[in-house]
Structures are given as structure tokens and as C-alpha cells.
Amino acid sequence: MRENRSRSTIVTAATLGVLLATGVVMASPAAYAADLSTTATSPRAAATPTATHTASSATRTSTGATDPATAAAPAPATEVGKPSLTVQEPASIGNGGRPVEFTEAITNPGTAEASYTLRLDASNGYARSPGRITIESLDADGSWKPVEPAFSQASDGFHFTGEIHGVTVAAGATRTLRLRLAAPLDNDWAGLDGTVKLSSAIVDPDAKTVLAESTRNVALKALKVQVKGAPTSAVIGGAPAEFDVTATNPSASRYDNASFVVQADRHSTLQVQQADGSWQNVTATPTPGPGNTVLYHLTEDRTLAADASVTKHVRLAFTAGAATGETRVNPWAVLGEGGQHPAYVGPQGFPVELTAATAPADEAATTGTDTGSTVRTALGSDSSATADTRLAGGELARTGSTGMRQAALGAAALLAVGIGVVFFARRRRSA
């Protein structure tokens, strides 16, 4: 009996030695027996990690330490941040001029490529019909393509809204779009100054939510025509009167359709001074339709660069056949001359009092009494009246919230023959 107990003790001690050598500590033989039972019934549970282990789980050594060689690397997370929008708007655009380029830059801060929609909206309180404001984008083939804005009216004015779809921006990159803005020729408002509000927004193409936006004001500027040294009187058949006519383009647009003219009585001559001081005769072109006026083109060049001006020194004389009394001389910048609806931009013009040359005493005695005096309209057409009728000098046509008012004095004859709407600068002639 003692021999059997001793043999059992030896086996137990040997087994404990093996367990100690392998790093497993058992509290008692009964606990060891229970552990052996668990291992035998589920061998895979102790050897294989479950599917719910995270990326931080790693193979462990027999001592329980993490093995650096077998540790799993963390999977990179995709970051999606809100894009930013940077707009470099044009300083100004010319009313009736060429488009002006500008840029809009979209920055994608995320770690993955993203696609956006760029929404563009241009608005103005007087652009009351489609086509008065246009937006273009530079295509991949190098050509300018219209954004095709939709026209709408709101409480704050008239809107031209379009979208550019599929603007793809690489991760962490910025994409710059080249665009152009213009106010094409329209003779209903070509003489107006104002503001075009340019609103831009980056839109999520799926959720249709606005991710970033910007609003900029762009100055809308019309051509300006000014006269310096305008004569107030002239003698029929007498010496010519000299003065300067200046056409100014205050905008960032280029004009390639502007004619600079002086409109005067058909019984007149006009010359332009050349660089060498000589004088060149200018051929008179009859004004279309009925009337008693002609146009003198001061230059053959119909272009005017951005922020540029041209000044012509001229002299005007009235010849035999001109009626005594008041006539008007009108300097214009004519946009789209020769087209269906040209626009005449400029001041109302200035009045000139025409008098006859002094007659010899014997001729004056036989002249007799004139029962009716000759009356002139704003542009010089003749009529008969029993009193000396004069136009209201110096008052300029106005523009405002009611749109372009009829320039009844300076433009009546032009409107009657369908030559186009006439616009006047808001200024008074210096005394």
C-alpha cells in the first residue's frame, strides 16, 4: 500500500515538473485535471482567435507578450472634410463689352478624390430679359462653353443661374476653374452703370446640400463720352468752332463694336486734327430715316481696350442752308452700328445758337418781315411755328428703378425712325 502511494507521488511530482517547465502553474491536481478536460473538448477555442478581434489583437508568445513581427497594422481611415471655395472675381465688366475672365478654386481637404457641382448665379436689378448676363467656362478642349444659365426673377432682381457638374478634385488638392462673365449688348440698358452680384456655391451632387459658398460684387460700367470746349454759338458760313470729344472705357472689358461719332445738322462740315497738326475732312453719313442730321465718324477703329480712352480734337462749321436758331450737336458711342438694334451711348449733347452772317444795310432793308420762325427738334429736323421755341438745355435723361426713361429731348428723332434706344450720361454740361 505504501509502495503504491509512493509511486503515485512520484508520477504527480514528475507531472508538476513538466508543467512548471512549460510555464503553466496549477493550484492542485484537480484543477489540472479540469483544464485538461476543457482543452480536450475544444482544442480550436484555445488555439484560434475569434472573428470579433480588433486590429489591435496580435499573436502572443508563451509568456503572454505581444510579438512585434506578427502585430497587425491599423487600417487607414478615409477622412472627408468640407471643401473650400476661393473666388477671384473680375473687377468690372463693360455693359455691351466683351467677357471678362475670372477664376474659382475648389480645395478638397479629404483623403479621397471627390466630385462636386459648382453652382453660379449672377443677378442685377435691371437685367430684365434672358441673355443680358452670360457665364462661360473653359472646356478641356480649350474652347469657351456657355454655362447656360436659367433666367428667373426674384425680389432682389433678375437672376441667371447655371451649374457645372462633375468637378472632380483629387485628395488634398485644389482645382481652379477658368470662367468668364459678360453683359452682352442690349440697347435697352447699354448706357447703365450698376452692379452684378456673383454668387457661387459648391454643392454635394448626391445630397444637393451646399458645402461652401461665396458672394462677390462686380461693377457694371458703361462707356462714357465727354465734350470739352463745346461751342455755344456759331455763324452760318463763318469760322469753324473747335472742341474735344473723348470716349472712355472705364471697365475691364474690351469693346470691338464701338463707333465714335458726332451727330450734327446736315448743313455742316467736320474735320479731325491729325498727329502732325493737319486737318482731315470727315465724310458725313446721313442718319437713317427722315431727319435733317448726319453722322461724322471720328475714327475707323471700332475697338477700345479695357481702361482706355480716345480723344479727338475736331472743328465744326455750319454752311449755307442751315437754319438760324438752336441746333444740337450730339457726340455718341454707337454700339453695334449697322446691326438691327444699335445702342447710342453718350450725353444729351449741347445746343448751338446759329446766327446768319451780318447782311449789308441795303439788303436788310429789302428783306421784309418773317411771319414764322424756324423751329428745331432735338436732332435738327425743321418745322414751322409762330414763336421762337427752344429746347430745355442741360437737363439730362435719367435712369432708375423704372428702367430707361425715354430721352424725349435728345432721342426723339432717333426713336421715331427705329434707330435704337438712346442713352445719356448723368451729368450737366458745364456753363
What pLDDT is recorded for position 371?
27
Whether residue 130 lies inside any domain: the answer is yes
What pLDDT is recorded for position 288?
74
Q: Look at residues 221, 254, 276 and tell me which one is the last residue of a structural domain.
A: 221
Do 215 and 231 reside in the same domain of the chain?
no
Q: Which domain holds residue 337?
A: 224-423
Residue 401: pLDDT over 60 = no
Q: Look at residues 221, 248, 270 and tell me which one is the last residue of a structural domain.
A: 221
Cα separation, 267 vs 321, in Å, equals 6
Do 298 and 186 reside in the same domain of the chain?
no
Cα separation, 236 vs 352, in Å, equals 11
Do 265 and 208 reside in the same domain of the chain?
no
Do 193 and 245 reside in the same domain of the chain?
no
Do 193 and 286 reside in the same domain of the chain?
no
Whether residue 50 lies inside any domain: the answer is no
> What is the CATH classification number for the domain harbouring 89?
2.60.40.10
Please check whether residue 167 is in contact with residue 175, taking contact to mean a CB–CB distance below 8 angstroms: yes
Do 231 and 209 reside in the same domain of the chain?
no
Residue 16: pLDDT over 50 = no
Q: Look at residues 189, 221, 253 and tell me which one is the last residue of a structural domain.
A: 221
What pLDDT is recorded for position 372?
28
Whether residue 284 lies inside any domain: the answer is yes
What pLDDT is recorded for position 287?
86
Tell me the mean pLDDT in the region 160-165: 97
What pLDDT is recorded for position 408?
36
C-alpha cell at 143: 474652347
What pLDDT is recorded for position 236?
97
What pLDDT is recorded for position 359?
62
What pLDDT is recorded for position 340?
83
How many domains is the chain built from?
2
β partners of residue 119: 163, 201
Distance (Å) of CA 251 to CA 85, 126, 306: 26, 18, 6
Whether residue 35 lies inside any domain: the answer is no
Do 311 and 351 reside in the same domain of the chain?
yes
Got the DSSP string for 40-81?
Answer: HH-HHHHHS--TT--TT---B-TTS-B-GGGPPPPPPPPP-P
Q: Which has more confidence, 362 or 303?
A: 303
Tell me the mean pLDDT in the region 26-46: 39
